């Protein structure tokens, strides 16, 4: 299946220029001025040297003021992070033929899905990193299944928010125009699917798929509860005692003659992503001419390198998040605020689009 284990040498897949790209953030003395943001998205950065020499040779104060404002805007973008001009982003959006959206936990948090990150990121007294590992499952499969049963039950009660819906609507609309929108998500909640997104790569798997530890069969599973023994179990309160469910009563494979123990079909800490899905990701990143980074902290690898890799070859990247991230200064655009507020405006039909 596409959404599963990963390539053993994920770091070897990262282009060598990516590491160098993060080596220095500042602009060296004497280097060229940053790209003027008012240009078209595909236009190369050129002509700054001659512009610098003629900066104070304009025939009117208006021209001089416009020139200075342009470079102040570019310098501010370079100093304080990505550029925040929605109108300029919309020009890029109108021209794009192959858009890639990379989404993370932030977009689903707006639907009420727990992120299990930060100070409040605990289930009982455990962090997700303590439970979402092969070692934890081997040591205490009952406890791990309680954790995932809780997550499944929570997610089944949630609905896609305006951000999910804006992406799905944009994808369907642009498809009718012969343009592509591909969503690469780190989320395992399937809210993109629930919103109607079709061209979707779930690189970390899904809460609603299981994998047999004996025969390896991957299957969809939307049962609630996933097995009788987990009914009413999984409460996140720190005082709750583990249920200690016997392993034979945990979810079991339904393939004829198997009956092996099932595990969630998600990528756990310490596991690699499926090389087949990484190949698909590489293909989409190579084709894209506009990239959106939505609700992701840009710290989980290898996904953290996807957008910087695209940006390094000159493709416009727009970050949508409630806060800046370690990668913000590497992107052309940054729109701060809830994805459910910023995305509908960013992805709305452009005046140049043909009505279909």
pLDDT digits (tens, 9 = 90+) for 322-336: 999 999 999 999 999
Whole-number pLDDT of residue 355: 60
Q: Are residues 216 and 327 in the same domain?
A: no
Domain containing 279 equals 70-112+160-204+273-356
- 152 or 354: which leads in pLDDT: 152
- 3 or 354: which leads in pLDDT: 354
167 is known to lie in a ligand binding site: no
Q: Which helix (H) or strand (E) holds 264?
A: strand 262-266
Count: domains in the chain: 2
Q: Give the number of other CB atoms < 10 A from CB of residue 209.
A: 21
pTM: 0.77
Q: Are residues 224 and 324 in the same domain?
A: no
Q: Are residues 317 and 352 in the same domain?
A: yes
User: Considering the chain, what percentage of its residues have pLDDT values greater than 90?
Assistant: 70
Q: Are residues 214 and 262 in the same domain?
A: yes
Q: Are residues 343 and 297 in the same domain?
A: yes
Whether the pLDDT of residue 93 is over 60: the answer is: yes
Q: Are residues 92 and 128 in the same domain?
A: no
Q: Are residues 314 and 353 in the same domain?
A: yes
CA 75 – CA 230 distance, rounded (Å): 57
Whether the pLDDT of residue 127 is over 80: the answer is: yes
164 belongs to the catalytic site = no
| Residues listed for the chain | 356
295 is known to lie in a ligand binding site: yes
Q: Are residues 92 and 122 in the same domain?
A: no
Q: How far, CA to CA in Å, does 146 sit from each of 55, 140, 153, 227? A: 66, 10, 11, 11
15 part of a folded domain: no
Give the CATH number for residue 169: 3.40.50.1220
Top mean-pLDDT range of 39-53, 78-92, 133-147:
133-147
Whether the pLDDT of residue 18 is over 60: the answer is: no
253 is known to lie in a ligand binding site: yes
78 is known to lie in a ligand binding site: no
297 is known to lie in a ligand binding site: yes
CA 281 – CA 103 distance, rounded (Å): 13
30 is known to lie in a ligand binding site: no
Q: Are residues 213 and 239 in the same domain?
A: yes
153 is known to lie in a ligand binding site: no
- The domain boundary, picked from 239, 266, 293, lies at 266
Q: Give the number of other CB atoms < 10 A from CB of residue 234.
A: 22
Q: Which of 164, 204, 265, 334 is catalytic?
A: 204
Whether the pLDDT of residue 64 is over 80: the answer is: no
Q: Are residues 184 and 253 in the same domain?
A: no
291 part of a folded domain: yes
User: Considering the chain, what percentage of its residues have pLDDT values greater than 70?
Assistant: 75
Whole-number pLDDT of residue 51: 32
Whether the pLDDT of residue 49 is over 80: the answer is: no
162 is known to lie in a ligand binding site: no
272 is known to lie in a ligand binding site: no
Chain position carrying tokens 């070859």:
313
195 is known to lie in a ligand binding site: no
Confidence of residue 356 (pLDDT cuts 50, 70, 90): low
5 part of a folded domain: no
117 is known to lie in a ligand binding site: yes
Q: Are residues 130 and 218 in the same domain?
A: yes
82 part of a folded domain: yes
60 part of a folded domain: no
Q: Are residues 210 and 199 in the same domain?
A: no
134 part of a folded domain: yes
Q: What is the pLDDT of residues 288-315, one digit of tens each?
A: 999 999 999 888 888 999 999 999 999 9
Q: What is the pLDDT of residues 196-254, one digit of tens each?
A: 999 999 999 999 999 999 999 999 999 999 999 999 999 999 999 999 999 999 999 99
Give the CATH number for residue 232: 3.30.1600.10
CA 221 – CA 7 distance, rounded (Å): 25
Residue 132 tokens read as 């979402």
């Amino acid at each position: 299946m596409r959404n599963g284990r990963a390539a053993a040498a994920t770091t070897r897949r990262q282009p060598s220029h990516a590491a160098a790209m993060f080596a220095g953030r500042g602009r060296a003395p004497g280097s060229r001025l940053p790209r003027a943001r008012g240009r078209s998205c595909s236009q190369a950065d050129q002509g700054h040297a001659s512009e610098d020499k003629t900066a104070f040779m304009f025939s009117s104060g208006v021209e001089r003021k416009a020139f200075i404002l342009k470079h102040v805007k570019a310098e501010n973008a370079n100093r304080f992070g990505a550029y925040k001009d929605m109108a300029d982003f919309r020009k890029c959006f109108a021209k794009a033929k192959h858009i890639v959206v990379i989404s993370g936990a932030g977009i689903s948090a707006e639907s009420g899905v727990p992120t299990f990150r930060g100070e409040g990121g605990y289930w009982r007294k455990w962090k997700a990193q303590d439970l979402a590992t092969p070692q934890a499952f081997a040591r205490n499969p009952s406890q791990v299944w309680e954790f995932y049963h809780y997550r499944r039950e929570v997610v089944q009660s949630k609905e896609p928010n305006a951000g999910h819906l804006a992406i799905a609507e944009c994808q369907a609309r642009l498809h009718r125009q012969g343009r592509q929108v591909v969503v690469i998500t780190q989320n395992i909640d399937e809210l993109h699917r629930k919103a109607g997104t079709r061209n979707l790569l779930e690189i970390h798997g899904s809460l609603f798929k299981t994998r047999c530890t004996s025969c390896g069969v991957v299957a969809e599973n939307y049962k609630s509860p996933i097995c009788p023994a987990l009914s009413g179990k999984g409460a996140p309160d720190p005082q709750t005692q583990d249920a200690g469910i016997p392993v034979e009563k945990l979810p079991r494979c339904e393939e004829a003659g198997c009956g092996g123990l099932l595990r969630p079909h998600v990528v756990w800490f310490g596991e690699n992503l499926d090389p087949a899905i990484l190949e698909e990701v590489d293909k989409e990143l190579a084709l894209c001419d506009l990239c959106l980074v939505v609700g992701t902290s840009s710290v989980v690898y290898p996904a953290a390198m996807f957008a910087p890799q695209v940006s390094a070859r000159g493709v416009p990247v727009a970050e949508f998040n409630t806060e800046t991230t370690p990668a913000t200064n590497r992107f052309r655009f940054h729109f701060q605020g809830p994805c459910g507020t910023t995305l509908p405006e960013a992805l709305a039909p452009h005046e140049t689009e043909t009505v279909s």
